[in-house]
Amino acid sequence: MYTLTYESVATKKLKTVEMEELLENARANNERDDITGCLIYYKGGFVQLLEGSKKNITELYDKIKKDPRHTNVTLFSDDEISKRTFPNWGMAYYPIDENNTSKYEYEQFKRNLTLLADLVTPTNVTSKQFWKKIKTMVAEPPM
């Protein structure tokens, strides 16, 4: 099996319903193609981890790179793996939208995500990089 993680910049702010559409479609495709992973949307940027067969992941990543909903798609780690880190997630999604959430909820959410990042034991370099990125992102002061 194979895993990769990338970051990208949303070309425009996605509405909740647009994000739901994206996820619904992604989850259906991923289930069909035995792909799992996690998607984070934060301050107009995406970070995604994908895992599955090398063929399926490579094909999906090629599609994702061409998707007009985001740009500057940058791969920051990939690996051959023997074990998934999100085995039960067609596409886990953590929305972090500071504009649509109360300050308290937002702070709580960041704390939870940081906690989660500390709790998971990444079994490969790519998932390690993924969680590291999440922690750095969440730790940055709001713009």
Ligand X SMILES: Cc1cc2nc3c(=O)[nH]c(=O)nc-3n(C[C@H](O)[C@H](O)[C@H](O)COP(=O)(O)O)c2cc1C
What is residue 1's three-state secondary structure? coil
Query: Cβ of 56: how many Cβ atoms within 10 Å?
Result: 19
Q: What would the two tokens of residue 79 be?
A: 């690996």
**Between residues 9 and 115, which has the closer beta carbon with respect to ligand X?**
9
**Between residues 20 and 118, which has the closer beta carbon with respect to ligand X?**
20
Interaxial angle between packed helices 103-119 and 125-139, expressed in degrees from 0 to 180 and rounded to the nearest 10 = 150
**Between residues 91 and 134, which has the closer beta carbon with respect to ligand X?**
91
Q: Which residues in the 95-124 window bind ligand X by CB under 6 A?
A: none
Strands (E), the chain: 2-10, 36-42, 45-52, 70-80, 92-96
Query: CB 23 → ligand X: shortest distance, Å?
Result: 8
Q: Which residues in the 56-95 window bind ligand X by CB under 6 A?
A: 60, 63-64, 67, 69-70, 91
Query: CB 27 → ligand X: shortest distance, Å?
Result: 8
The closest of 50, 86, 46, 51 to 67, measured between CA atoms, is: 46
Where on the chain is the footprint of ligand X (CB under 6 A)? 22, 25-26, 29-30, 39, 46, 48, 60, 63-64, 67, 69-70, 91
